[in-house]
Each structure stands twice: as C-alpha cells, then as structure tokens.
A and B are shown apart, each in its own frame.
Chain A
Amino acid sequence: MQELDQWKEHISHLLNVANDYIREIPSDQLYAAAAIAVFTTLILLLLRFFKRAKSNTIVLTGLSGSGKTVIFYQLKDGSTHQGTVTSMEPNEDTFILHSETLKKGKIKPVHIVDVPGHSRLRPKLDEYLPQAAGTVFVVDALDFLPNCRPASEYLYDLLTKGSVVRKKIPLLILCNKTDKVTAHTKEFICRQLEKEIDKLRASRSAVSDADVTNEFTLGVPGEPFSFKQCSNTVTTADASGLTGEISQLEEFIRQHVKP
C-alpha cells in the first residue's frame, strides 16, 4: 500500500512538471504540433484504407472433404505432409506461393484462408469474405453426385452474399481430385450446379430465412440459371490437390493478386 502511495505521489509530481513545461511553450507552436499529429493520423488511416482496397486475400471454400486443406498446404509448402483430417478452425497464412519460391525478384505474398466446410463453421466465412480479392469454391469431382445438392446450396448462399455481390468478388469453381479417372468433368459439374441452383432459386426466393438472409437474388427471372448471369465473374478449373496439379488455381490467384 505504501508503495502505491509513493507511486501516486511520483506520478502527480511528473504531471505537474509536464504542465509547467507545456505552459512555457508558445501557443501557436502547440497548435502546429497538434495539426501535424492530426495530419499524420489521417494519412495513416488513408494508407490503411488504400491497402484494404487492394486486398491480397483469397478464400478457399467448399464442402467438408472437398480437399481445401490439402490445397492450402500444396500452395504453401508444395506438399500434403502426412495428410489431413476435418478442420475445426480456419487455416490462414500469408506467403509466397510454393511454385514461385524459385523465382527472382520481389513477389507480393498472398493471404490464403481455408474456411472449414462443416456447416456449423460456415458463419466464419462472413469474417473473411469482405476483404477477399477472390474466392475459390472447391468441389469434390470424385464424389460429386451425392454431394451435388449440399454443394449447390452452399454455392448459392455464397453467390447471394451481400459482400460477394456488391464487391463483385470473382469466383473460381475448382473441381478437385481429378487425378482419379472416375472424376467428373468440370463441364458436367458446372451444368449440374447450374441446374440445382435454378431449382433453389425458386424455393429460396420464397423462403427468406430471418437469419441466413440472402440479400440478393440470382440470375435473370424467367430464364434458366447460368453462371454467366452472375454479377461477379465465375470461372471453372481442374485441380488435384493430392498430386499437386494446381497450376490453374495459381493462375487464378495471380490474376487477382498481382505478384
């Protein structure tokens, strides 16, 4: 207690000294100092705002088991290490793509986020989407048919998110696991997804949930849905996370996060 009192005394003494010191300075100098302080903070804020506008974030989404985490580590380390299990938390890191590590010169690193596909963890997506420069929707091309409806529902939700529509965040539908011969083609997958979303459009526009509000509707009314109708660009690509064939994905990333 005594120590505390001593401290208090000391502090009040310091305050007094500071007060005296300030009084000695002419007031216009004081104003100038204040103005400079305000100015620098403003500039800092502006810089930050500017930085955010040129985001380097790429978000990996897709159903659980589609291979997002494998792809994340392929991008980062060029290896799948000892395999993966279902993610309980997002993986996120800022790095230079593994395939670019040999290149010379200064390369801008990419911030990649892998958001788990478990439906309970999907609310996490909203944290990352607003700052995304691009999103990748990973689809399991091997086990596609049984997952077609859930995948379409997830994709529908993604495409109607306010942040995606307003900022026109480009989307890549990445058909993963094409190393296996029984994998479906990206054309087929795209067609099926479009068909499913077309049906969802009818039922979703009818039910607008109180919480999962789809702020925007998709496509042109009266026409069958196609990804071309989206306000943001939607492209498709093949990949195999397991064998490391992810060049098309890297192309997409570098298209939206310039090196």
Chain B
Amino acid sequence: MLEQLLIFTRGGLILWSCKELGNALKGSPIDTLIRSCLLEERSGAASYNYDAPGASYSLKWIFHNDLGLVFVAVYQRILHLLYVDDLLAAVKREFSQVYDPTRTVYRDFDEVFKQLKIEAEARAEELKKSYSNPVVVNGNRKNQVTWKGDGSEGKRNGTGGGGGGGLKNDGDGKNGVKSESDRDGDRFVVANGNNNYGSNLKSNGGNGNGNVSVNGKDNDSLNNGAFDVNRLQKKVRNKGGNGKKTDTGVTKAEPKKLVKKNRVWDDKPKETKLDFTDHVDVDRDADVDRKVDYLAKEQGESMMDKDEVFSSDSEDEEEEEGDDAGKNSNKVDAKKKGWFSSMFQSIAGKANLEKSDLEPALKALKDRLMTKNVAEEIAEKLCESVAASLEGKKLASFTRISSTVHTAMEEALVRILTPRRSIDILRDVHAAKEQRKPYVVVFVGVNGVGKSTNLAKVAYWLQQHNVNVMMAACDTFRSGAVEQLRTHARRLQIPIFEKGYEKDPAVVAKEAIQEASRNGSDVVLVDTAGRMQDNEPLMRALSKLIYLNNPDLVLFVGEALVGNDAVDQLSKFNQKLADLATSPTPRLIDGILLTKFDTIDDKVGAALSMVYISGAPVMFVGCGQSYTDLKKLNVKSIVKTLLK
C-alpha cells in the first residue's frame, strides 16, 4: 500500500497530500529524506529507506525543477510497489498543469489522483504478467533496482523486512550502507545507489574497482567508454518514449530492471581469521612510569589560528577555461549546434533543459573533477544529483548551459563541504571539562598516513590554547611507534601514557583515560596502529578500542594524495566499525584529518570524496612538517580549485 503521497514546494510548503490515504506517518520520513538525502546531494539515488520505531518506509521522489516542486511517495518497504515511479511521473505531469504559484489549495486534485493511481496499478499488474522473468540490463546508470514478482527474491526480502519489524532490518544492516548513517541524527540508509556501490567493492574486488590503484588509467578510460555508450543508449531511449509516457509503461520500466544478482556479500560467510591482537593480552608492565621530560621550546603560533586570506584574482581565467571545456564537449556531442542558433537560444532563454542538453556539460565537469582526484564514483553521483536539480528548468536569458551547470555544481560542492555540525573542538573540550571528564580523541587510519605526526600537531595546537593534553601510545603493533610518539611528547613537553608493546591497545587506552582523569588532563589523544581497511583482526581490535572507551571524537587520518582509494578506505572503515561493533549503536567516524595537503597542488579531490562518502567534516588539514602546520579546510578555495 502506498502510505502517503505529498506534493510540496522547494521552499517547504505542502501543496497537496493524499487525504484519502491519510495514514499518519510514523516518525518524520519526509523531513529526514530532505535533510539527509536531498540536501546531501544524493538525490540522484533511486530511493531512500527510512526506519522509525514500528515502521520501515521506502521513499521515492521526483522533482519538477522549473516549477520548483517536489513529489514524494512513501510506502512500506516490505511491499515492493512496482507502480510508484510510474505514478509519480503521472502525478507530476498532471499536477504541473494545474499548478499556479499563487494558489495553495488543490482539493480538486484528489479526483485526478484517484484516477491516476488506478491506472498506474493496472499498468503494473499488466507488467507483472508480461514479464515474469527478470531481465538483466547491465550498466544502468542509476543502479536502480526493481524487484520483479519473482518468487525467490520476494521471499527473501519478505523475511528480511518482517524480521526487522522494529528498528533496522537485518538484510540492510549488513549491506555496507551504514557508512551513510550519521551519528547524531536519525539513522538512515540510502538505498540502492550507494548500496550497490558498497557491494561492488566487496564482491568484485578482483576485477572491478578493487585494483584501481594498480592500473587506474586503463580502467578509467575503459569505464569512460562504457559510460558513453550507456548515455547514448539512454538518450535514444529517452527520445523514443518521451511524448507518450502514459501508454508506454512497459518500455519505460524496462531499463530499470537490474536484478540484484551480485548480492554475494549477503550470504558470504564471515571471515574468521585468528584475532591475534586479542591474544597478546599478557600483562607486561615493564615500564609503567610515564616518561615526562620537559625539554622543548615555543614553536610559534599554530596555523590553525591564522586567517587565510583568500585571493580571487584568477576569476577571469577560470571563466575562460570553463568555456573552453564547454566548447570541447560540445564538439564531442553529435548534435553540433550552429553559432547563430546557440546565440539566439542564449538570448531568448531555452524552453526547458533536458537531460541530453545537460549531458555534455556534465561530462566535462565530471572529467574535470576527476582530474582533481575526485573518486570517479563520487563525481558520477554528484553529476547525477546536479542533473536532477536542473532537468526541466528554464535556462535564464544570456546564460549558457555550461555555465548554468557550473553554478549548480559549485553550489552543490559548497553545500557538501560545509560541515553539518559545528567543528569547534575547543568548545567541546570545554564542555567535557565542565563535566570533569577528559575529552578523548582517537586517531585512526591506514599505514603511513602520518597519524602520529598529526596527532602531535593537534596536541601542539590544543596546548597553545591552554588545554592540558595527554598522549596515549596505543600503537602496540608496529615497533618503534611508541618511541616515535615519545619523541614528539618530549619535544612538546606533553605527558605521554605508554605501556610498551604487546598489550591490548583497548586496555592501554582505558588506563590512559583513567590516568588522565586522575591527573586532571583535559584531552587524551589516542594514537592507534595504522591498519589496512581489509585487515579483519586489526579492524576488530579497533572496534573494540572504540567500543570500550567511547571516545568523544573518532578522527580518521587520511592522505590527501589518495584518489579512488579514499572512498574505499573510508567506507570500509566505517562499515567495519559498524559490522564489528558489539553494541547496537555503533560509533562511526566523526571527523577527518587530511594530511600531506602541501604536496598535492590542485589535486584536492580527496577532501570532497572523503566528506561525501562519510558525511563527516574535515576538521584539520595537515600541511607541512612542523608543529604549526595544521589548518582548517577553506571550503571556498577548495571548491574553486575543484572547478578550476
């Protein structure tokens, strides 16, 4: 059953809702959809799952960009309603005919809707009959998944949904989408788009995205090729079925059928390797005494406190480049338009933007993002989201498509990179101080990204602001790690808590925090061993450390150099933390520290990739060798660099 169908303006005013369905929705699925999906540049996804106590809904949406309307359908997830997309499209078409910006009541639409619903249901029924066998269409851009009335599929999902009943259904929990959920808001799961992404990584690590780092270039070009073909096909399809949407239900639904054949991860047996980190529990407190020497001297002001002056001199240059790219892509496009007609168009303002109009500009933009080291996956999703927000819009007079797309993308990027919650650590530290407990930060990340060095920088910065810092050496895995941290501690005259090696890092951290509350330290910075995201035992140990100590901040330290790998690292870290957590509400990554930012020139894409995939803000940027080389991310300049 359809639970609700809402029509509202982008400004947030509900214009019409189905009174007849009238069921009061549990929780606030619509607001959550807007806050955590549509406003997070994920509107390119196919559907969105919302879980509230006693309900698990799926939501689908469609925009009318020219009129600024949003149509949202809510239905119970266990019922895989087939007609929702179709119905939404029909409602959009009919409603846009009666819509008048000055009018706010549309009770007469009730009747129209009733009729549309009946029609849509009938069409779905027909479709079911004519297609009893699922058809696989590869390379669907939206990764949209529709379940056909296939017996086995249906059953499996039925049990999954029913079992979940209250909170989260099991099937989804394991699908690697937990990385999407944020800690402080409602838990949410963006369904298919991202979901499939996670699965790709996991299931075909051998041949697909898995070895991007090895032969990244070939792969890219290959992918691009495939991409174009898809687009062309899509274009053709679009053209075919544009005019008469009503009676082409069958052809329309066809490309969406991508049956979830590759959901291998679901039944994949859990890896049960030996967890050797847990076995080294033997207590060997040889040197329990904290080594505190005071030797170092002032190093000057940390760059965190310096305002960065943002110059905007290369504005014109950028504009020109943008145009060039636009032109180039236009050449690629088969439909070359004459100079005169395009001139005329830009004066008169084009009727309505169609997807095919946007595509060349978006393609150019996507390529540009990718040359800036943005992971391909992310660039793709962003472009989809921008396309979704522009499709059907009127092009303003005296503007080109490429510049319209450019502006939309710029706004989207600013939105993504603007932190969702405040990143004022000092304020948090003071709050913790009031409660008389130390503020605990755990630094996590893969090997060799500079965790310890940047931990020292953060320590130095905190120290500059009269915060009593303590370091905890919980890298009991790599030899030399404790000594390295000890050196930093000595230089900065910061106490360090260490227990040598061969001890459970979770326990060391626990003792360190106890020690900190005893000696009145305000902040404990916990250094952990670098680990590859695939290393199950080590990830388990990390999960334990986090679970046991419940830190205030889990900071992911990542290199700004990484490209496609950034996504893999972060999503897997988050996923492993979620999967391996023993508590029902797992702790995920709260913030990101980007290191080696000084070495990357204009390849700043990792910042975007990481923020997009984790939803966590970039809290610090490490940009050099000395203790003062710690900065905040400058959103404006990053966006500018990305689009240059």
Chain A: minimal CB distance from B388 (Å): 12
Contacting pair A153 B422 (CB below 8 A): yes
Chain A CB within 10 A, most for which of B14, B306, B307, B424: B424
- Partner among A69, A81, A121, A209 whose Cβ is within 8 Å of the Cβ of B39: A121
- Interface assignment of A256: CB less than 8 Å from any CB of chain B: no
Contacting pair B35 A114 (CB below 8 A): no
Residues of B within 8 A of A89 (CB): 10-11, 68
Contacting pair B12 A120 (CB below 8 A): no
Contacting pair A120 B416 (CB below 8 A): yes
Inter-chain CA distance A34–B38, complex, in Å, is 53
Interface bracket on B: 35 or more
Nearest opposing residue in chain B for A209, CB measure: B632
Inter-chain CA distance A77–B415, complex, in Å, is 31
* Bitwise interface map of B from 181 to 204 toward A, beta carbon under 8 Å scored 1, else 0: 000000000000000000000000
Contacting pair A91 B12 (CB below 8 A): yes
Nearest opposing residue in chain A for B68, CB measure: A89
Contacting pair B632 A211 (CB below 8 A): yes
Nearest opposing residue in chain B for A91, CB measure: B11
Contacting pair B14 A199 (CB below 8 A): no
- Interface assignment of B40: CB less than 8 Å from any CB of chain A: yes
- Partner among B13, B35, B634 whose Cβ is within 8 Å of the Cβ of A84: B13
Contacting pair B11 A81 (CB below 8 A): no
Chain A: minimal CB distance from B641 (Å): 13
Considering only residues 431-453 of chain B, those with a C-beta below 8 Å from chain A are 431
If A69-B11, A85-B6 touch, whether A120 touches B420 (CB-CB below 8 Å) is yes
Considering only residues 408-431 of chain B, those with a C-beta below 8 Å from chain A are 414-416, 418-422, 424-427, 429-431
Contacting pair B10 A82 (CB below 8 A): no
Main secondary structure of the interface of B (DSSP, over half): mixed
Inter-chain CA distance A118–B430, complex, in Å, is 25
Contacting pair B104 A119 (CB below 8 A): no
Nearest opposing residue in chain A for B303, CB measure: A210
Residues of A within 8 A of B177 (CB): none
User: Which segment of A132-140, A161-169, A200-208, A217-225 sits at the interface?
Assistant: A200-208
- Partner among A64, A79, A208 whose Cβ is within 8 Å of the Cβ of B305: A208
Contacting pair B307 A82 (CB below 8 A): no
Residues of A within 8 A of B70 (CB): 88
Contacting pair A121 B307 (CB below 8 A): no
Residues of B within 8 A of A208 (CB): 305-307
Residues of A within 8 A of B11 (CB): 69, 87-91, 114
If A202-B430, A210-B633 touch, whether A86 touches B10 (CB-CB below 8 Å) is no
- Interface assignment of A123: CB less than 8 Å from any CB of chain B: yes
Inter-chain CA distance A153–B31, complex, in Å, is 22
Inter-chain CA distance A86–B631, complex, in Å, is 33
- Interface assignment of A259: CB less than 8 Å from any CB of chain B: no
Contacting pair A120 B427 (CB below 8 A): no
Nearest opposing residue in chain A for B427, CB measure: A203
* Bitwise interface map of B from 63 to 99 toward A, beta carbon under 8 Å scored 1, else 0: 0000010100000000000000000000000000000
Inter-chain CA distance A253–B131, complex, in Å, is 62
Contacting pair A86 B307 (CB below 8 A): no
Residues of B within 8 A of A105 (CB): none
Chain A: minimal CB distance from B331 (Å): 21
* Bitwise interface map of A from 170 to 214 toward B, beta carbon under 8 Å scored 1, else 0: 000000000000000000000000000001101110111111010
Contacting pair B636 A211 (CB below 8 A): yes
Chain B CB within 10 A, most for which of A81, A84, A89, A209: A209
Contacting pair A122 B105 (CB below 8 A): no
- Interface assignment of A83: CB less than 8 Å from any CB of chain B: yes
Residues of B within 8 A of A150 (CB): 421-422
Residues of A within 8 A of B10 (CB): 87-89
- Interface assignment of B316: CB less than 8 Å from any CB of chain A: no
- Interface assignment of A116: CB less than 8 Å from any CB of chain B: yes
- Partner among A64, A123, A153, A213 whose Cβ is within 8 Å of the Cβ of B424: A153
Inter-chain CA distance A119–B615, complex, in Å, is 13
Interface residues of A (CB under 8 A from B): 4, 64-65, 69, 73, 77, 79, 81-91, 114, 116, 118-123, 149-150, 153, 199-200, 202-204, 206-211, 213
List 30 A-B residue pairs with CB atoms under 8 Å apart, sorted by A's residue number.
A4-B340, A64-B35, A77-B104, A81-B14, A82-B17, A82-B104, A85-B8, A85-B14, A86-B39, A88-B11, A88-B12, A88-B39, A89-B11, A116-B12, A119-B420, A123-B414, A149-B422, A150-B422, A199-B427, A199-B431, A200-B424, A203-B426, A203-B429, A203-B430, A207-B304, A208-B306, A210-B632, A210-B634, A211-B310, A213-B307
Chain A to chain B: the 10 pairs with minimum beta-carbon distance, closest first: A87-B12, A203-B426, A91-B11, A203-B427, A210-B308, A89-B10, A210-B634, A120-B415, A86-B34, A82-B14
Interface residues of B (CB under 8 A from A): 6, 8, 10-17, 30-31, 34-35, 38-40, 68, 70, 104-105, 304-308, 310, 340, 414-416, 418-422, 424-427, 429-431, 465, 631-636
